[in-house]
A and B are shown apart, each in its own frame.
Chain A
């Protein structure tokens, strides 16, 4: 008997141009965040120019801020804080939310009811308020920020995963697996998860944008990343008055924030049809 090798599966996706552009933007920012130390021109906290709110120039590509620091360098390092914190927070929230959501769907019954109602209470508290309380209580440090993001965002992941998983759980192939005698964990991981992983990834993308906006909001209030470091939200706050001088100092981080948020949103809106079908 001949045993032929599995043919390589071609991804038969029709990629839309807008999705490709957005993907490029997202990858660009990810690369910037990763390689930030190699890209900066000046140390982040150093005042390098006497000209505050200086214009774009050869030395200072994106101008200088209200203390005469190099905006370009601060933007690059800011990307690291903004994207890094949001990403780690997202991964933690997703791990907790998706795991609990799958457990709730596979076990069902009283377990599901208690878990769902308990997690629903989290959803009742406004995001920013909860973040303020956590940061006020724990002080503003990067671990606390990540923890706050995890607590705020895992209920959403849980609810999304559970609702998708419950739908899959009602299908016949799950009945077949259960009639075969499979345990809940096998059903969770091998039967349910592969069928909902696409929509979950898309949902996480949207949540990432929400996290970045929340983080920037916190920084804007002075509770996010502390000086002399800054994420993009903090940079907007610091340089707010620069807008009346026509300085790029406030426009640049705002544009960076907008470009990333928009790119992720549009990317998800223009996902290949096959993943979108699963979403609906």
Chain B
């Protein structure tokens, strides 16, 4: 082994023709990585971007000489400082992890041991590798907490993981990764699970820590805008192959590969062409002063924990109302109340002029038919034991009494409506991709011939390009079938491109409702402005130029 001079700019990591193969249940072999080549130079941050299944996490883990169970390295080399990690034995690999290469996971909440204090977990790396003694490690950790702008850095380590917020925990996970002064830090979608306002704080902390330390990093993400803020170079992956590699400015500014172009096109918000311009028609769904929540009912008739607090809304026939807010703001609960899955404690829900009973079991079949709910995760919203045909066919039998050939014919029509081939009705949900499952999820709701669709974050779990297609489909269906959508999302872009009106929720309350086209108007509520400004754009200088009122951030962000 030769000694490389350690100057900034020389190659730290070289991946040569890396191949990873997985063995499935039935013994079939699938190539996850099909010969990946790239370098990471010392002091740069390289981003790996791609949709789910593109192999980005597999590459990231290979930098730790780790392959997930069922996978193995079937070829190529991963050279860190000239040493092939794949050729190392397990003992040497363990010495490497956390020490030379460290890892910041997507879900810090799942990575911390809930029964140990944070500080004990953060300094564990130093103990395992015998880098620092306990006192020195603690001092260093506190320094890192300060560098990552965590509140009360001296004492935060004495808390347990559940006593800090998600954004703080993510930064604590980064502190854990940085403690051993690794040569390479692998970030695996570290901000994906966070709310937008929290994401900003975490991104800023990461960026300044990276710049201060001149760190070398590999940043894995599906979000091009986030990556544009933090990386020097971007590699675009699809199906285990590199599609395009280049400087950040080039990739987001002038993408050469068609796939990258599609990614960027899907990112640009498309203004709803009819937004605000369509005339108001009759109200199809109205909710008035709805209060709902969880837990035992208190003496004043309100639930113990109030999730939705006196919210009123009106959905016009053929229109879409977007409900936005961050996690825990009560937007999904609002949908469950409308569907009757969670009976409201007080307030009323009026569909087509008829006041609905709060419980689903007390509503008539026709009332239920008119309003259908579509859930976010199609994986759990489709019964894994039923074929697509049965899943879509059941509402046909249930509401419309269809059977046999008539039902089969209608199922095929519905599949066609969501742009899926007729043969798919024989498949099980696990034999479909994420986007296809969401289409089946939609088709099942359409089978009832509803007037109103309650959509709960239905594009959030999908990849950018796929989500854009599903949104397009929603728009077409609205035109064809004159549907009305109550569309819940945390993503302003999505809501803006689909909805006529937007309602903003915070802490269970409605803050304001406005026409989607007026999102950037001056009269907006400060929180709406904060939400709108927190959404990363493709401009690589966006994060550095971002000006937010710290008072406002403190008040509304959960960081």
Contact = CB atoms under 8 A, between A and B. Distances in A.
Interface residues of B, number: 37
A194 B426 contact: no
Contacts of B377: 172
Contact of A4 (B383, B394, B422): B422
B380 A171 contact: yes
Interface stretch (A121-129, A138-146, A174-182): A174-182
Nearest to A14: B27
Contacts of B387: 6
Contacts of A172: 375, 377, 380-381
Contacts of B408: 3
Contact of A179 (B360, B385, B422): B360
A185 interface: no
Contact of A195 (B385, B395, B399): B385
Main secondary structure of the interface of B (DSSP, over half): helix
B368 A181 contact: yes
B405 interface: yes
Interface in B119-146: none
Given A1-B412, A172-B380, A178 B360 contact: yes
B363 interface: yes
B360 A12 contact: no
Interface string B370-414: 001101010011111111000000110011000001001100100
A180 B386 CA distance: 17
A179 B25 contact: no
Contacts of A175: 336, 341, 373, 375, 381
A180 B384 contact: no
B382 to A, nearest CB: 6
Given A14-B27, A195-B383, A182 B341 contact: no
Contact of B382 (A3, A7, A173): A173
A179 B339 contact: yes
Contacts of A272: 25
A210 interface: no
Contacts of B383: 173, 191, 194-195
Contacts of A194: 383, 385-386
A100 B49 CA distance: 50
A161 B95 CA distance: 45
B281 interface: no
A56 to B, nearest CB: 44
Contacts of B361: 181
B340 interface: yes
Given A6-B426, A7-B426, A12-B26, A181 B386 contact: no
B426 A181 contact: no
Nearest to B422: A4
Interface in B196-227: none
Contact of A173 (B381, B426, B448): B381
A14 to B, nearest CB: 5
Interface in B409-451: 409, 412, 422-423, 426, 444, 448
A13 interface: yes
A261 to B, nearest CB: 28
B386 A13 contact: no
B365 interface: yes
Nearest to B361: A181
Interface in A238-280: 272-274
| Closest CB pairs A-B (n = 10) | A194-B385, A172-B381, A12-B26, A181-B368, A172-B380, A172-B375, A179-B339, A173-B383, A171-B380, A6-B426
12 contacts: A4-B422, A4-B423, A6-B426, A12-B25, A171-B381, A173-B382, A173-B383, A175-B336, A176-B375, A178-B341, A179-B340, A191-B383
